[in-house]
Structure 1
Amino acid sequence: MSTDRFTQRANDLRRAVARLVEACEQPFNSFVRDSAIQRFEFCWELAWKTLKLRLEVVGIDALTPRDVFQASLQNGLIHDGNLWSDAQKMRNLTSHTYDELLAQKVYEFLLESGQGIFKQLAVDVAQWQTETP
């Protein structure tokens, strides 16, 4: 794993998580909801790609987001497998955000628990950056 590549990905993830949290803290309206969902999609993509790089450090080559999250759980990089599984389901629903009910379901997930897993991952990634690979 390139340290520069991991650092860039980690910084991008940290910024994306901050923007997700910012969106989730705003008073509700459909624009805020849609913004939060878009930021969730950014976080999701950056999360699995950052975890993929971290897994490469221990010699694990996971190719798909699903494989990356399973391997990350098995290797202690993430901790709440059920919540990450829920996040994956929500991410799959975001391709249907034109459906108001589905968009609201994803938004409520983000407010209740979804943003928390990304916040924790950002903290963990910052810690990994201080460790020698």
Structure 2
Amino acid sequence: MIETNNQDIRWKQRFQNYEKAFKRLTRAIEVVKATPDDDLLQSGLVQTYEYTFELAWKTLKDYLESEGFLLRSPRETIRQGFQSGYITNAEDWLQALTDYDLTVHIYDDGIMARVLKDIFERYFFILQEFYTSFKAKTDE
């Protein structure tokens, strides 16, 4: 029983960090939209996306583990989160994971432009949905 309680506390603590990161991502998107040609701001947005996404899947992993699942990778976590109904768009989550892995080594302007477009058009919305869903869980 103690393990479950620790896991419960763990995902809630991780979610608090996710909440801060998500709010920072929201702000970074606003800044980049206001100054779309600034390469430095774009790089900052991508980096903000990276740690926000990482906190999202790790929060999901901690939550699923508090329910008794054993998960060894981000991909397994996303699949189980989808199967359990905690996330609704597994395809976008898996593409976000691929791009997350890719962004660490972005040197190509074309890839950077595509990832930025996906952050604006796809990834922000899955992260927002995750935020809303898990914010409600912290209040339960």
After TM superposition, the score normalised by the length of structure 2 is 0.87
Distance 1:72 1:113 in 2: 18
Aligned identity (percent) is 28
Distance 2:119 2:41 in 1: 12
2:9 to 4, 7, 10: 4
Count of residue pairs brought into register by the alignment: 131
117-126 or 95-104, larger mean C-alpha shift: 95-104
Residue number in structure 2 paired with 1:19? 24
Q: Which residue of 2 aligns with 1:51?
A: 60
Q: Find the partner of 2:110 among 101, 109, 119.
A: 101
CA RMSD of aligned residues (A): 1.3
8 Å contact kept, 2:11–2:62? yes
> TM-score, normalization: structure 1?
0.91
Which residue is equivalent to 2:42?
A: 33
Runs in 1 of length 4+ with deviation above 6 angstroms? Answer: none
Gap runs ≥5 in structure 2: none
Q: CA deviation at 1:21?
A: 1.3
Q: How far off is 1:116 after superposition?
A: 1.0
Q: Which has the higher Rg, Structure 1 or Structure 2? A: 2
Query: Structure 1 unaligned runs (5+)?
Result: none
Structure 2 counterpart SS, 1:63: coil
Deviations 1:66-93 (A, max 9, x none): 1100110010010011111221121122
2:74 is equivalent to residue 65 of structure 1 = yes
Return the offset for 1:130: 2.1
SS of residue in 1 equivalent to 2:132: helix
Structure 1, residues 48-68: CA drift from partner, whole Å, max 9, x if none? Answer: 110011101221111111110
Give the counterpart letter for 2:97 in structure 1. Answer: Q
Mapped to 1, the partners of 2:46 and 2:82 lie a distance apart of 24
Give the secondary structure class of the aligned counterpart of 2:70: coil
- Say which structure, 1 or 2, has more relative contact order (CA 8 Å, 6+ apart): 1
